[in-house]
Chains A and B, each alone.
Chain A
Amino acid sequence: MSARQFSTFLVSDRLYGIDVMSVQEITKMTNATKVPLAPPFVHGLINLRGQIATAVGLRELFELQDNSKSSEPMNVVCKGEGMLLSLLVDQIGDVIEVDDASFESTPETITPSVGKFMQGVYKIPGTLLSIIEVKKIIDVLNK
């Protein structure tokens, strides 16, 4: 029985997780350079110690209706396909270790706007953890 570790965070009060191995770092929101004419989920470009990361708002990307602005969005910086992707989330949670036994694939009823980024669900005590796959986000963006 193997276990995996996920870095968790909240977007619109829902719990999501990304494999710790694909998370490079977590930072506070810094000033982003706006990209005119880019899709609305692109918050801008940020300078991460000399590297340029693209800030993508998960709320906009998941097309979540909740408009309550998070007071201080956090950046979950992920690396993939030769680029740095900074996912904007409302709140950072713990790193959770979960058992493979509690994994289930994404239920059919999940709205495609979120479901297309999901790898599956872990049943953890008291709540469910939706697993977001960075590669899927990049694939959708580049499609």
Chain B
Amino acid sequence: MKTRMQPIGSILTKFQRVVRDISKELNKQIEFSTKGNETELDKSLLEAIKDPLTHIIRNSCDHGLETSEERRANGKPEVGHVIVKAFHEGGQVVIEIADDGRGLNLPKILAKAVQKKIVSPEKSNLMSEREIAQLIFAPGFSTADQVSAISGRGVGMDVVKTNIEKVGGIVDLSSEMGKGTVIRLRIPLTLAIVPAMIVASNNHCFAIPQVKLQELVRVDMDSDGPKIEYLQGQPIFRLRGHLLPLVFINQVMNLTPNRNTTEPHSRILNIVVLSGEGDPFGLVVDEIRDTADIVVKPLPQFLKRLNIYSGATIMGDGTVSLILDVVGVAEQAHIRGSSSKKQELEIINADQGMKKLLETQEYLFFELNDNGKYCLPLILVQRLEEFSRQQIEISGNEKIVKYRNSILPIISLNDFLKIKPTESKSQNDKISVIVISKRQRLFGIEVNQIHDVTRLNAEIEEPLQEVPGIHGNIIDGESIATVVDVLNIIEMTISKGTTGTTGHSLLKPKVKTNRRLRILLAEDTIFFAKNIMKILNDQNIEVVHAYDGVAALKLLKNNRENKFDLILSDIEMPNMNGFTLAEMVRSDSQLKSIPMIALTTRFKDSDIKKGLNSGFNLYLEKLKPDQLIEAINNQIGGLVA
């Protein structure tokens, strides 16, 4: 055993030369130093980490450290430092490669990752700093603007990570902008023997490598101490003020007791705090047995593919135990990297399509016969009302109710979506109605029960099949809710003549032109944008959508040749609001002739005045298709006819 162990210094000293060569080549002054050369490591591991280590050190010199001029300008000593430290910690060898260079430029990394399509622009908005830093380990990633002989050739940190992980190690990285970067490698002492924690649940025994283990927590559910709480139905434990998501091993691995144990549920929980790819999580097991140095035996490929076991081992009593792959278990339990720290919304360019959009919007949640979760954007809701069944009258074949001195037609969502009542549901003698205003008329939407309002920052996934009246699905925590396209439902109900009382509302105005119009729409709320686009598309108008004023202005400037006929703009938008957009357009000699219509839900005199002053030709209320079309006719009908 001892002969296999060799001091890490035997490879570290070789890097002196490597760094000296690089510093000459890059014309940087670099001081390279090592610590803990005597730290011993398995010979085969030393071989395995040699190349990754070389790569990291070259990277630190090339990307990490600034040029002498830059360093001087930033008030740093001209000589940059790269320090490699090796030491034992918890049965592992830790190798730290630290530089005092510029640190990671997280926005640049993110931008590059989006550009290289490593992350989608939608996802990029939700990434925490830690996740962004991890991007440099993604395959094909390089932020170097120029490819040098030393690094930036595309084979990069991903290879480092794979190689280190191949020998059971972990790569970690921390960085401070302007101060430097520290890359930390945690390597097991030897390849064959791994210190592990043995845990048991429902007569199944598992080994967890100590590398992944942070700490053990014992929770007595009967004591006054901290307990397991439930957040949106998911178990959570407060660990020193931080929320630790919990995973019950019995659930995630589907462990059923071998014998029918009818003993009362244990009031003591054992939490094994593990670090996966992202934030730590707690694995709840029945029993924590012992630590043991285990000999890792490989599993056949088809079992490895389950992704929750990294191997097997033979215990002291001759039984076989499985070694848990912590990252795989986290994935099995759907714990991914942290998404708690949300980044601010970035400008999404107009050309990125309508499909998946990020937005925060308040949704009103309600229930229908099938107990599923339904919601609609709160912004459309006028009021919530309750009527007793006696109040509802039937006129023709429509349900109506007297409401504020007029008649409120009631549309039952259950009927519209053809959801049959379940037998167990007893009919309540009160009905819940969501009052929606459309075309200056009020409509009542009958639902089973109104729940609450939640602000969601989620993308609406369009359903695979186009279902009339369904906008799509939205993720609310762990569950999925159906977004009801209530405006469309009203529209369809009216046109079917089952609810509409007046015939003339069917006569829709038409845009009168002799050619296809091209309109720019600046609107950050996707519901309104979709609504407007549908109205205009029905009129055979080409609509180009921008998510804010900045994107709209960019589009206008890029389309000087193929000018837009009209600009429709929301007032309240991120990055650049409608007023500023109007002023910018009016101050541009080429663009100033384009008519502009403001679309808003705010209809205050002061706002209108401000809008007209900043350059809008007209002020309109949102969700009034007839008025919108009429206005388009007025603004440009004559112009092109």
Contact = CB atoms under 8 A, between A and B. Distances in A.
A54 interface: yes
Contacts of A44: 320
Interface stretch (A31-39, A68-76, A119-127): A31-39
Tell which of B298, B303, B309 has the most Cβ of chain A within 10 Å.
Answer: B303
Nearest to B311: A52
B254 interface: yes
B308 interface: yes
B132 interface: no
User: Which range contains the number of A residues in contact with the other chain?
Assistant: 20 to 34
Contacts of A38: 303, 306
A35 B309 contact: yes
A54 B319 CA distance: 13
B314 A35 contact: no
A42 B303 contact: yes
A142 interface: yes
Interface string A1-45: 000000000000000000000000000000111111111001011
A33 B320 contact: yes
Nearest to B304: A142
B300 A83 contact: yes
A83 B312 CA distance: 13
B253 A46 contact: no
Contacts of B314: 47, 50, 52
Given A36-B255, A52-B297, A52-B312, A142 B322 contact: no
Given A52-B314, A142-B301, A33 B322 contact: yes
Interface string B554-592: 000000000000000000000000000000000000000
B204 interface: yes
Interface of A is mostly: mixed
Nearest to A33: B320
A37 B253 contact: yes
A128 to B, nearest CB: 30
Interface in A51-107: 51-52, 54, 82-83, 85
Interface in B321-354: 321-322, 332
B431 interface: no
Interface in B246-297: 253-255, 297
A141 interface: yes
A65 B125 CA distance: 52
A11 B204 CA distance: 29
Contact of B320 (A39, A42, A45): A45
B396 interface: no
B128 to A, nearest CB: 29
A34 B312 contact: no
A116 to B, nearest CB: 15
B241 interface: no
Contacts of B320: 32-33, 44-47, 52
Contact of B205 (A33, A46, A50): A33
A50 B319 CA distance: 10
Tell which of A45, A51, A54, A85 has the most Cβ of chain B within 10 Å.
Answer: A45
B318 interface: yes
A45 B312 CA distance: 9
Nearest to B319: A33
A39 B321 CA distance: 18
A37 B300 contact: no
B318 A47 contact: yes
A54 B255 contact: no
Contacts of A34: 204
Contacts of B301: 83, 141-142
Contacts of B300: 54, 83, 85, 138, 141-142
Nearest to A45: B320
A141 B300 CA distance: 9
A85 B302 CA distance: 12
Given A47-B319, A83-B301, A138-B300, 14 more contacts: A33-B321, A33-B322, A35-B303, A36-B254, A37-B254, A37-B332, A47-B318, A54-B299, A54-B300, A54-B303, A82-B298, A83-B300, A85-B300, A142-B300
27 contacts: A32-B320, A33-B205, A33-B319, A33-B320, A33-B321, A33-B322, A35-B309, A35-B322, A36-B204, A36-B253, A36-B255, A37-B308, A37-B332, A38-B303, A38-B306, A39-B302, A45-B312, A45-B320, A46-B320, A47-B314, A47-B320, A52-B297, A52-B314, A54-B303, A82-B298, A83-B300, A138-B300
